[in-house]
Amino acid sequence: MTSSSPHRPIDALAPGEVALIASIDRAGLAPETAQRLCELGFDEGVDVEILHRAPFGGDPIAIRVGNMVVALRRDMARLIEVAA
Amino acid sequence: MNAPTANLARTPVVALVGNPNAGKTSLFNALTGSRQKVGNYPGVTVERKAGRLALPDGRLCDLIDLPGTYSLNPRSPDEAVTRDAIFGRIAGEKPLDAIVAVIDATNLRNHLRFVLELKALDLPLVVALNMVDLAARDGIVIDTARLADLIGLPVVETVAVRKRGLDALGAALASRIGEAPPALPVERTSDIRALQKQARQLAGAVETASGSARRWSQRIDAVVLHPVIGPLLLAAILFFMFQAVFSWAEAPMGWIEDGIAAVQAELAARLPEGVLLSLLNDGVLAGVGAVVVFLPQILILFAFIIALEQSGYMTRAAFLMDRLMARVGLNGRAFIPLLSSFACAIPGIMATRTIDSPRDRLTTILIAPLMTCSARLPVYAVVIGAFIPARDVGPVGLQGLVLFALYLAGILGALVAAFALRRTVTKGAAPPFLMEMPKYQWPAPRDLALGLYGRATAFLKRAGTIILASTIVLWALASWPQPPVDADRPGIEYSLAGKIGTALEPLFAPIGFNKEIAIALVPGMAAREVAVSALGTVYALQGVDEEHAQGLIEQLRAAWPLPTALAFLAWFVFAPQCISTLAITRRETASWRWPIFMFSYLFAAAYIAAGLTYHLAVALGL
């Protein structure tokens, strides 16, 4: 991905910054995981925000997605991109 | 006019279905009260909760609380039960007459997606729009009539914890349940993303004000999940919990012990000396006592765990600890079961049901016995009291330091074991860590009480029967055959247990254990603390127990060299000296394979640890 790409990983969001999900790399996930991510509300066009990063290295992270808060590890968060 | 026909006598079956955290169990408790039965689905360790519900038209129906799930595509055994129950695939379960879809009014868009998925099944369906009070608090206004209209289903507003909307829900159900059972639904794949999109539009159309959901939860999380305050708060909560488990339980444990002792004394005064008295006093009552004496601790522990679960804090603890647990191949959800195991491995192993990955769950079960449970304390107290001088090393006492080292050895052993297990027997990719963090709620007293009652009876049933049975078997082993009249050695040496111990002596000799220890380890299989009274018996002392161990301490000091004592301590850090733990492992893994594996690996670890300790101590000239 070049620096001019309009998308960046969700992990790069600044605290308090709200953005819309631009793409989810579903091919990089097991089918059940991609489905669970969808069931938890992750979808293109949904508003997200990083609320918390865990102590001891900032992993996992807690993401607000719509009205829900979901904890996931950063290696998965890298597959979710938000619009710049 | 009441000619009962087969059809009229039929009891309809209604299931509560919904996402986790929708308040389903609260609604179930509010609808059924204490008239509920908790059991297990056949072949899986998934709790089955059922109760009776009286409909406003006088009909009775069976209400089933199905495990919470996000969709009909299961990811865990719990979720599979929900799917199978809906499609009528569980042996012994009647097909459903109707479904109540429980949804959280503060999270409409996600929960409505599941309702749309359920609607496609063509079963009679009623939507319970739950927690409307919390939605109002957050400023969310929902046009319920419009929702019912758009979705084409009856929608009833409920507040389960305050018993609001229950009559309306009953009326809506009564109008949907017909005389004859509906046809079984057909499973088809649904496009979750399309439904999700539809649900978002639906939610947008019926929410006349969207408010600022979760404002309170976010404020609390700012403290609870703070990088510095968060872990400190977790440590403080855990410290308080353990303090409570041990100090609040002390008095009731004393009453139970005194009560059992009084019954034993009464029996001894009334019955002639003999086999019957010995069976009742040393077998049955000692066995019952060994179970009930831990009940106060276990109840307090369960009360804390249930309150932490219901408040929403448990997922925060899992979030805080995930990183550390990930280093040994586990996930954050393993933290609480392992913590519970410091009181007793049995509730700990039962608590692993919240871990959705089967491999993580199995690993957690296998290492749970390495957490130093409270039954090890009497053993440690006696041996430390006998062999570790009560002097200070710097600012701390040496005895306390040794005790701390034993706890630490257990934790380190568990970490190493988890690391090794995840690379061998429980090898394989775990499903990724993906966890909803629900909003905070005050635990409702009714839900707390019913949850506590359910878990306490489960513990008594599962652990109680096996402990009682094993105590009686071990009592018989230690009592027969009886010693000859002119016996010059303690009676136990002539018994089967004594013979087994004597036969095992060559096995234990290389790690510094003498014949007396080998014999005491046999009845000590019932429960770890039994080893104390068993040593008392082997050394022919009368009435040795945790409070009257002074005689034993002096006896051991004279009989054991220091390396033997240290090896004995190392043995108890790892040894699988607890039949109940093995029995509960069999229950929870539904196979003999894992308890046998657990016994073998813990035995090997204990043997190696005791052997190393013994030879190191001898080499150092201790």
Alpha-carbon distance of B541 to B536, in angstroms, equals 5
φ/ψ of residue B495, rounded to 5: -80, 175
Chain A positions touching B20 (Cβ under 8 A) are none
Between chains, do B433 and A60 touch, taking CB under 8 Å as contact? yes
CB within 8 A of B424, min separation 6: which ones? none
Question: For position B544, what pLDDT does the model report?
Answer: 57
Chain B positions touching A33 (Cβ under 8 A) are 431-432, 434
Distance from CA of A51 to the nearest CA of B (A): 8
Between chains, do B228 and A55 touch, taking CB under 8 Å as contact? yes
> Which residues of chain B, if any, have pLDDT below 50?
1-7
A70 touches chain B (CB under 8 A): yes
Q: Is the pLDDT of residue A3 over 60?
A: no
B597 touches chain A (CB under 8 A): no
3-class secondary structure, B90: coil
Chain A positions touching B437 (Cβ under 8 A) are 62, 69-71
A60 touches chain B (CB under 8 A): yes
Say which of A29, A54, A66 has its CB closest to residue B109.
Answer: A66
Query: Strands B98-104 and B125-130, how do they pair?
Result: parallel
Q: Identify residue B367 by its one-letter amino acid code.
A: I
Say which of A41, A62, A67 has its CB closest to residue B225.
Answer: A62
β strands within B399-509, DSSP E = 434-436
B225 touches chain A (CB under 8 A): yes
Between chains, do A66 and B110 touch, taking CB under 8 Å as contact? yes
DSSP element (H, E) containing B46: none
Alpha-carbon distance of B537 to B531, in angstroms, equals 10
Q: Which residue of A has its CA nearest to B107?
A: A67
A30 touches chain B (CB under 8 A): yes
Distance from CA of A18 to the nearest CA of B (A): 14
Residues of B numbered 411-440 whose beta carbons fall under 8 angstroms of chain A's beta carbons: which are they?
Answer: 431-437
B458: nearest Cα among B363, B349, B367, B362: B349
B410: nearest Cα among B531, B526, B572, B612: B572
Question: For position B238, what pLDDT does the model report?
Answer: 84
Between chains, do B434 and A51 touch, taking CB under 8 Å as contact? no
Contact B98, B126 (CB under 8 A): yes
Between chains, do A72 and B433 touch, taking CB under 8 Å as contact? yes
The token duo for B286 is 């000692």
A52 touches chain B (CB under 8 A): yes
Say which of A38, A54, A62 has its CB closest to residue B323.
Answer: A54
Say which of B75, B200, B436 has its CB closest to residue A68.
Answer: B436
**Residue carrying the six token digits 């220091």:** B562
Q: Render pLDDT for B538-593 as a digit per residue (tens, 0 to 9).
A: 776 655 565 566 778 888 898 899 999 999 999 999 998 888 899 889 888 888 99
Q: Which letter, b or e, does each residue of B116-147 get, where b requires 16 or more Cβ atoms within 10 Å of its Cβ? A: bbbbebebbbbbbbbbbbbbbebebebeeeeb
Question: For position B3, what pLDDT does the model report?
Answer: 42
Question: Do the interacting molecules here have an ipTM over 0.90?
Answer: yes
The token duo for A5 is 């790409």
Distance from CA of A82 to the nearest CA of B (A): 18
Strands of the sheet containing A80-83, edge to edge, are A7-9, A80-83, A18-24, A47-53, A61-65, A68-72, B434-436
B11 touches chain A (CB under 8 A): no
Pick from B319, B325, B328 the residue to mutate for testing the A interface (most A CBs within 10 Å).
B319
Q: How far is CA B473 from CA B268, B507, B515, B579, B596, in A?
A: 21, 23, 21, 12, 20
Question: For position B9, what pLDDT does the model report?
Answer: 61
Distance from CA of B116 to the nearest CA of A (A): 12
pTM score over 0.95: no
B344: nearest Cα among B299, B391, B308: B299
Q: Establish, for the pair of chains A and B, how many residue pairs have beta carbons separated by less than 8 Å.
A: 116
Chain B positions touching A67 (Cβ under 8 A) are 106-110, 213-214
Q: Which residue of B has its CA nearest to A37?
A: B434
Between chains, do B221 and A56 touch, taking CB under 8 Å as contact? no
Question: For position A1, what pLDDT does the model report?
Answer: 44
Between chains, do B70 and A41 touch, taking CB under 8 Å as contact? no
A35 touches chain B (CB under 8 A): yes
Distance from CA of A9 to the nearest CA of B (A): 17
B524 touches chain A (CB under 8 A): no
The token duo for B383 is 């041996």
A57 touches chain B (CB under 8 A): yes
B450: nearest Cα among B132, B31, B133, B78: B31
Question: For position B6, what pLDDT does the model report?
Answer: 44
**Residue carrying the six token digits 């979901």:** A70
B109 touches chain A (CB under 8 A): yes
Q: How far is CA A37 from CA A58, A65, B122, B134, in A?
A: 21, 11, 26, 25
B244: nearest Cα among B198, B290, B303, B310: B303
Distance from CA of B451 to the nearest CA of A (A): 26
β strands within B42-117, DSSP E = 47-54, 60-65, 98-104
Alpha-carbon distance of A81 to A61, in angstroms, equals 15
CB within 8 A of B48, min separation 6: which ones? B38, B39, B40, B41, B64
Say which of B71, B231, B437 has its CB closest to residue A39.
Answer: B71
Distance from CA of A45 to the nearest CA of B (A): 10
Question: For position A20, what pLDDT does the model report?
Answer: 94
Mean pLDDT of the region A5-11: 83
Chain B positions touching A10 (Cβ under 8 A) are none
Q: How confident is the model at residue A4 (pLDDT cuts 50, 70, 90)?
A: very low
Between chains, do A71 and B435 touch, taking CB under 8 Å as contact? yes
Between chains, do A71 and B322 touch, taking CB under 8 Å as contact? yes
Chain A positions touching B224 (Cβ under 8 A) are none
Alpha-carbon distance of B333 to B16, in angstroms, equals 25
Chain B positions touching A49 (Cβ under 8 A) are none
Q: Render pLDDT for B461-486 as a digit per residue (tens, 0 to 9).
A: 766 776 677 778 878 887 878 777 77
Contact B414, B367 (CB under 8 A): yes
